[in-house]
Structure 1
Amino acid sequence: MSDKRVSILKAFKTIIWPRRNLVFIGLALIIVSKAASFVAPLSLKYLMDDIIPNKDLEFLKILLGVVIIAILVQAVTSFLLTKILSVQAQYMISELRAQVQKKILSLPIRFFDNTKSGELVSRIMTDVEGVRNLIGTGLVQLVGGTITAVVSLILLLNISPSMTLFALIPLAIFAVIALKAFKIIRPIFRNRGKINAEVTGRLTETLGGIRVIKGFNAEEQEHMVFEEGVLRLFENVKKSLTATAFMTSSSTFLLGLATTGIMGMGGYKIMIDELTIGEFLTFTFLLGLMIAPIVQMSNIGSQLTEALAGLDRTEELMNMQPESNEEVRTLSLNGIRGDMIFDSVSFAYEEEKEVIHDISFSVNAGTVVALVGSSGSGKSTIAGLAASFLTQQSGKITVDGKDLSKVDLNSFRKHLGVVLQDDFLFEGTIRENILFPRPNASEAQLQEAVKAAYVDEFTDRFEDGLDTLIGERGIKLSGGQRQRIAIARAVLADPRILILDEATSNLDTESEALIQKSLSNLTEGRTTFVIAHRLSTIRKADQILVIENGRIAEQGTHESLIEKEGRYYNLFTYQARI
């Protein structure tokens, strides 16, 4: 219960209070609307007890005019409520989505390695939707409903205290049932968000990997996995529907009992002249006005419970530690030369499972260091540490003598460029993908990058040239073409530190020859980390580090390592034979 109270208080402070002006306008409108709603039932007493018996046509005209005005006021206030609060609620959802997306982008790479992208899409798009019930008409209806119920209760007690107290007994029982039901429903809604994110995540993966699925004839298998997910979602929805249906049925039964009792008591009181027909009709209508918001509150309560469950999940994300901790990363780099030193660096993805052990080496500005070794030896981890995608557990990495773990990441990454093995291209045109790091680059700078990476060698054959649409993740291009676009993108970024991870792995021999030329242009004067399986591509590296089991097994130039006839010599001669 305390957890719920904290959530409601937090929601009030962070969401409702900053928008209090709009909420107060909403409350004023609903008070006017609810006041107008009392006109019709209260006028019944005058109609039945005064106007009809006295055949007073003038008073009848006045009464009808007042009722019509009251109905018009209700219609106008209802429209304004939706216009002001519902629109504001939708604006707030878009604001929250933007905040959550910004927060997610600030999280470390490790978070993304452990979380499905489809799940994150669901967290951004779906979890925040419930807040419309906090700032939208839901909350205002809750307050308005309370006002209506209290005013109706006072008027009912004024007409007949005994009938009113009789009607309150089933309502009290219903309130107890509703409170119990909300306790059960909230964890169900919370779990629904989790299941929904998992199912969305799997669906996104399925659509992204459609070629693999069809290639292994695994459509049926994927269908079964998805079906199992949507069935879990169904079971969750079924639980919440059962709880809400029980509440609705309870309210129908209990309120039915109250109505029947009131009919009996009212009929008896009219017979013994304790109540007039007008008072009885007014009592019946006012009872409806009191009961309707109470039943409506159970529905609004479900909405608010769903909203708070979504906010709980959003809160989890918003409380995560961002990648760039401003309290720790206080150093800012205006410009860098590119000297880097790894001093006794160790790193583990999981506790007590180090993948890099006590590594030390230095890279002079403008030189090329190549990382070679068998798969899983730790090459990509070292490159990830150099790119600041990962942070070491022990030891120190410095850039131009400054501790990288204390450097503001934005100021460092302005000078960083990456070309990855499976480089990501965005849906759109070739031009848009190359301009990605510098959207405001001039046409001359763009053409320079295009020529440096030999992208024009294939775009000249395309009808739309650089404006050719490449499909999702560049699916319409060959591996070599995608790689050259990635290299052109890095050329345009003009970084001081460059990470090349298997940059020539997707290329045929002809493309590789072209790329080797462009890479030598790209690496010139830049501190470059190259990860390569093809050792023929790194002969000109200033230093080569042979990584085995997370340690540096050998270190030196190509010639000195060949002379040693150690691990590098074995790798190189083995590849040469192949």
Structure 2
Amino acid sequence: MNHLLYFTRKLHAYGGKVLYINLVGMMLVGILDGAGILLLAPLLSVIGIVDIPLASIPGLQLLSTLQDLPKERALLIILALFILLVAAQGIIGRNLSLREIRIHTGFVNQIRLEIYKALLQANWGFFMKKRKTDLINSLTGELARVTNGAFLFLQLIASVAFTIIQIGLALLLSVKMTLFVLCCGLAVAFLSRRFIKQSRVIGSVTTELAQNYLSGITDHFNGMKDIKSNLLESSRYRWLLDWSDKIAHERYENSKVRSNSQLLYKLFSAIMIAAFVFGSVLLFENQGGYLLLIMVIFSRLWPRFTGIQANMEQIASSLPAFKALMELQEDCNAAKELMDVDELGGEHIMPLKLEQQLECRQVYFRYDQRQHTFTLEAINLRIEANSMTAIVGQSGAGKSTLVDLMMGLIKPELGQVLVDGKGLTDAALLSIRRSISYVPQEPFLFHGTIRDNLLMIDPQASEAQMWEAMEFSSAAEFVHKLPQGLNTLIGDRGIRLSGGERQRLVLARAILRKPSILILDEATSALDSLNEARIQEAIERLKGRMTVIVIAHRLTTIRNADQVIVLDNGKIVQAGHFMMLAEDKKGLFSSLLGNQLQVAL
């Protein structure tokens, strides 16, 4: 419930005066609705169906003069007043509904933007601990449930406002009868508490099932090639079949709770009506004229009680979603590294140009501080500006972790990362990232045109600058051959391009940024020899123009590196020029190089 109160306060902060104006408007609609019902009394009296003394109903004494008019004229006046009240109620209700939609949509968009902003502001360590599909589910499925919960909460406020008005009108007509109805409503609320609790439990199951579904389906499509090549279709189908059984059971239980609550309301309503009529005849026998009017009020008041109860059950089922989004926001805030929304784009941040060297001094790092061993231990290295440095080592040696430290994505537990002799502080973190371009092992391109993918790194880049970057990356050759050139649609993740073409295009995008430091994370490991040679030629053209750091898988591609850093089990075991390390037959580098040459032969 604390999570609902949290979002309620946020709704109050967002809606402000407009929210309360809407609430007052709802009460006005309730008054007009009740006034329309009260006009039924003189209407029934005038046409002679029942005999109701209007003087006993506050505010309606003035209508007693209608009894002196001809029946047809009095009936026309009453019907005209009734139509005017209904029209006024309808117009006000329409405007309130439209404003409610605007408040609701705006509030949901605000929550969505707040959460997405918090995600963007979180550091890399936060994303390393989270499952990607859970974050996607939070911004889609869970947000939709919070959307529904927020809308239901607004409806609940409206229902309460209408109910208060209806109760007030009923009290004017008969205190005893109204109190009888209220006591029955409270009894139903007490009996249905367990339904609210059950709805909340089912809501938690819904959250878990939604996360599992999105995670499983995403893994299936990402691994479709493995599924097809290894004949895993049957096992994947069984997984979805098992999930379908679970979601069917969850939906059934959810419907069962709601059906049971509705059955309770109907049975209790029938019993109450019977007791109500019986009590009215025996206890309130002198108020026979009011009995019909009270029944009309009851027919409108009781659905309000049941509506409020149904809203509360649905809100209870949404509470786990409120909790999930609140906890996500708290986790993001705890891992925040960007303090201002203006920092998200980075356009106003001046890049920190590397003038002398990038340095690590006695750096230690581990992902889990409960572990005794370090991922990186006693790292000391210096990378000169505008030089080319290769980082090599066996799988799991800590190469990518070292690069993440130099980019400031993670922070050392001990030691320092220095840029031109100055520590990589939080203040300098964004500036160093602004000066870095990173090319991953798996090139990522967005669904769109080649132009779109280049402009995302620099929206102000001219076409000439784009072609220049593609010339450097050896991408211009194949782009010129495409029928639509820069406007060619490349598909999801660039699927319409070959692996080498994707890698060269990603490299062009990195170069277009004009970085001070270019980091290539095993960018040629998955390429054939021809494409690898083209990427290598592109890298050679960049030497001396920027600082190039290469995580190398194929050691023969780094012959021209100014220095080679060899990692083993998180420690630097060798450092020097390629040929010097190759000639050291006792060193790890020579062993790795020899193994690769043997495989090649």
Letter in 2 for 1:70: L
Residues 1:459 and 2:471 aligned together: no
Q: Kindly provide the amino acid, as one letter, of the partner of residue 96 in structure 2.
A: L
Unaligned residue ranges in structure 2 (runs of 5+): 50-66, 344-348
Q: CA deviation at 1:438?
A: 1.0
The answer to whether the Cα contact below 8 Å between 1:51 and 1:59 also exists between their aligned partners in 2 is no
In the comparison of the two structures, how many residue pairs are matched? 567
- What is the CA distance between 1:481 and its match in structure 2? 0.9
Segment of structure 1 superposing worse, 491-500 or 426-435: 426-435
RMSD of aligned C-alpha atoms?
A: 2.5
Q: 1:424 matched to which residue of 2?
A: 444
Query: Which residue, out of 99, 102, 106, partners 2:121?
Result: 106
Aligned to 2:142, the other structure's residue is in SS state coil
1:425: how far off? 1.1
Q: 1:521-563 CA deviation, whole Å, 9 max, x = no partner?
A: 2343322221112111111111111111111111111122133
Q: Which residue is 2:60 aligned to? A: none
AA in 2 matched with 1:75: G
Aligned with 1:196 (options 210, 213, 218): 210
The answer on 1:313 being equivalent to 2:333 is: no
2:17 is the alignment partner of 1:21: yes
Out of 260, 276, 290, the residue aligned to residue 262 of structure 1 is 276
CA distance, structure 2, for counterparts of residue 290 and residue 428 of structure 1: 56
Aligned counterparts of 1:433 and 1:211: Cα–Cα separation in 2: 25
Alignment CA distance shift 1:135-1:533 (3 Å): closer
Query: Shift in Å at residue 96 of structure 1?
Result: 2.1
> How do 1:394-433 and structure 2 match up within 5 A?
394-433=414-453
Q: Pick from 85, 94, 101 the counterpart of residue 79 of structure 1.
A: 94
Partner SS for 1:371: strand
Aligned-residue offset at 1:283: 0.8
Aligned partner letter, 2:102 = V
Is the 1:326–1:408 contact (alpha carbons within 8 Å) kept by the matching residues of 2?
Answer: no
Q: Which moved more, 1:468-477 or 1:125-134?
A: 125-134
Question: Cα 1:423–1:435, aligned 2, differ >3 Å: closer, same or farther?
Answer: same
Secondary structure of 1:358's aligned partner: strand
- What is the distance in 2 between the residues matched to 1:309 and 1:323? 24
AA aligned to 2:593 is F
Equivalent position amino acid for 1:97 in 2: R
Bigger shift: 253-262 or 566-575? 566-575
SS state at 1:422 partner: coil
In 1, distance between residues paired with 2:324 and 2:227?
32
Partner of 2:390: 370
Deviation of 1:296 (Å): 0.8
Shift of residue 237 of structure 1? Answer: 3.4
Secondary structure, counterpart of 1:366 in structure 2: coil
- CA distance, structure 2, for counterparts of residue 514 and residue 133 of structure 1: 54
Match of 1:344 in 2: 362
Amino acid of the structure 2 residue aligned with 1:281: L
For 1:366 and 1:323, locate their aligned partners in 2 and report how far apart those are by CA, in whole Å: 32
From the superposition, tell whether residues 449 and 257 of structure 1 become closer, same or farther in structure 2 (CA, over 3 Å). same
Verify the 8 A CA contact 1:103 1:322 in the aligned structure 2.
Answer: no
Is the 8 Å Cα contact of residues 343 and 361 (structure 1) preserved in structure 2?
yes
1:96-495 residue pairs with structure 2 within 5 A? 96-132=111-147, 136=151, 138-268=152-282, 272=285, 274-277=286-289, 279-320=290-331, 321-324=334-337, 326=339, 334-337=351-354, 339-351=357-369, 352=371, 353-495=373-515
Of residues 557, 567, 588, the one that matches 1:537 is 557
CA distance in 1, matches of 2:412, 2:207: 34
Deviations 1:441-483 (A, max 9, x none): 1111111111111112222322122222111111121111111
Separation in 2, partners of 1:72, 1:443: 61
Deviation at 1:366, TM superposition (A): 1.4
Residue 555 (structure 1) aligned to one of 562, 575, 579: 575
SS in 2 for 1:52: coil
Report the Cα distance in structure 2 between the residues aligned to 1:18 and 1:27, rounded to whole angstroms.
15
Identity in percent: 26
Q: Letter of the aligned partner of 2:322 in structure 1?
A: L
**CA deviation map 1:86-110 (0-9, x unaligned):** 1331232233222222222222333
For structure 1, the 5+ residue unaligned runs are none
Contact 1:474 1:482 in 2 (8 A): yes
Q: Is the contact between residue 109 and residue 390 of structure 1 (CA under 8 Å) also seen in structure 2?
A: yes
Distance, in Å, in 1 between the alignment partners of 2:250 and 2:412 is 42
| Preserved contact between residue 336 and residue 415 of structure 1 (Cα < 8 Å) | yes
Return the TM-score normalized by structure 1. Answer: 0.91
Distance 1:141 1:424, change over 3 A: closer
Change (3 A) 1:481 1:315: same
C-alpha contact (below 8 Å) 1:324/1:409 kept by paired residues = no
Go from structure 1 to structure 2 and tell me whether the alpha carbon gap of 1:358 and 1:297 turns closer, same or farther (over 3 Å shift).
same
* TM-aligned CA distance change 1:550 to 1:78, over 3 Å: same
User: C-alpha separation between the residues in 2 aligned to 1:191 and 1:390?
Assistant: 35
Q: In structure 2, what is the Cα distance between the partners aligned to 1:87 and 1:217?
A: 51
